Amino acid sequence: MSAPIPERSHAEIQELLGAYALDAVDKETAALVEQHLAGCVRCSVEVSQHHEVAGLLANSGGASPASLWDGIASQLDSSTPPSWEGLAERLETGGDRVVDPTDAVVVPITARTRRGRWARRAGAVVGAAAAVLALVLGLQVHHLNNQVTALQSHPSLSAAEQAALREPSTMVVPLRATAGAAPSPTRAVTVVLTRSGTGFVEAGGLSALPRDRTYQLWGVIGGQTISLGLLGPSPGVVPFSVAGDVAVNAFAITAEHGGGVVHSSNQPVVSGQVTA
């Protein structure tokens, strides 16, 4: 067993930053520096600056070897995020399901209304009126860049729900808790998606996360899992949009760190399949 590594002061770590940025420290020292960087913005900035300078030194500006790209491209098809690998397949084939398909059947709004279920849900389920649609259609939610949180408080949103609910083609997809997922939702989470591609997720049933974390909405589209937006740590009604001609096969919500992620390695908190 190796001897414990002594803690180092801020000043000692600072002296190491140049060598660390050039990978000129051993693994143990690198681990110490990284531990320090996790809590020290000033030192993190300095390392980034050293990396930029080193990058300029390294920059030969030569052409990229075409032959190497062929080797890279040939390995891309099978390279999918491990935790999401097969999610779409499981949802679509029924094997090893994440959700029970009967829990996630798309039902036209009108049918739900006839059964009287909508009345109980109306205060919470989301929709879109023309005014808000105009606003939301301009918002192509590109995962890390979206500002959906700001739209949650849009004053027209509540009134807007009713308009979308009157559209017969609007789909409602209940998202159910995934077995073993944490934190578990307190009540149902629902996605509403209009034919135009404008959608809302009613996520008030999700348990609140710490402020430095966020829920993230995903869509399974053509076998790929794509981020549809950040929902915030304590979401309510959150709009999103997808291209109108895109068929979403399933939705899922994960809990991520505050900035969201491009690929999630976390198990979905809730998920639901879209069944035509």
Site for other proteins (CB under 8 A): which residue of 114, 187, 195, 263? 263
Q: Which residues from 86-125 bind other proteins, rule CB under 8 A?
A: none
Can you tell me the distance from the alpha carbon of 97 to that of 88, in angstroms, rounded to the nearest whole number?
10
Contact status, residue 253 vs residue 271, Cβ threshold 8 Å? yes
Which residues are within 8 A (CB) of 31 and not within 5 positions of it... i.e. 6 or more apart?
5
Can you tell me the distance from the alpha carbon of 150 to that of 25, in angstroms, rounded to the nearest whole number?
44
Minimum CB distance to other proteins, residue 153 (Å): 26
Contact code string over 189-228 relative to other proteins, x by CB under 8 A: -----------------------------------x-xx-
H-run or E-run covering 221: strand 213-221
**Which lies closer to other proteins via its Cβ, residue 71 or residue 168?**
71
**Which lies closer to other proteins via its Cβ, residue 3 or residue 63?**
63
Minimum CB distance to other proteins, residue 203 (Å): 22
Minimum CB distance to other proteins, residue 159 (Å): 32
Q: What is the largest CA-CA distance in the chain?
A: 71
H-run or E-run covering 273: strand 270-273
Can you tell me the distance from the alpha carbon of 228 to that of 201, in angstroms, rounded to the nearest whole number?
11
For residues 149, 153, 159, 160, the Cα torsion angle rounded to the nearest 10 degrees is -20
Here the tokens at position 170 are: 């609007």
The span of 66-74, 114-122, 158-166, 190-198 binding other proteins (CB under 8 A) equals 66-74
Minimum CB distance to other proteins, residue 40 (Å): 12
The span of 49-57, 91-99, 109-117, 190-198 binding other proteins (CB under 8 A) equals 49-57
Contact status, residue 127 vs residue 211, Cβ threshold 8 Å? no
Q: Is 76 in the site for other proteins (CB under 8 A)?
A: yes
Site for other proteins (CB under 8 A): which residue of 35, 44, 207, 275? 44
**Which lies closer to other proteins via its Cβ, residue 17 or residue 104?**
17
Site for other proteins (CB under 8 A): which residue of 1, 73, 95, 153? 73
Q: Is 10 in the site for other proteins (CB under 8 A)?
A: no
Here the tokens at position 193 are: 């998606």
Q: Is 55 in the site for other proteins (CB under 8 A)?
A: yes
Q: Is 138 in the site for other proteins (CB under 8 A)?
A: no
| Amino acid present at 176 | R
Which three-class secondary structure state does DSSP give residue 209? coil
Residue 48 to residues 10, 21, 39, 73: CA-CA distances in angstroms?
A: 17, 8, 15, 29
Q: Is 38 in the site for other proteins (CB under 8 A)?
A: no
Q: Which residues from 12-31 bind other proteins, rule CB under 8 A?
A: 14-19, 21-26
142, 130, 152: which is closest to 238 by C-alpha? 152
The residues of the shown chain that bind other proteins, judged by CB under 8 A, are 14-19, 21-26, 41, 44-65, 68-69, 71-73, 75-76, 79-81, 142-145, 224, 226-227, 261-263
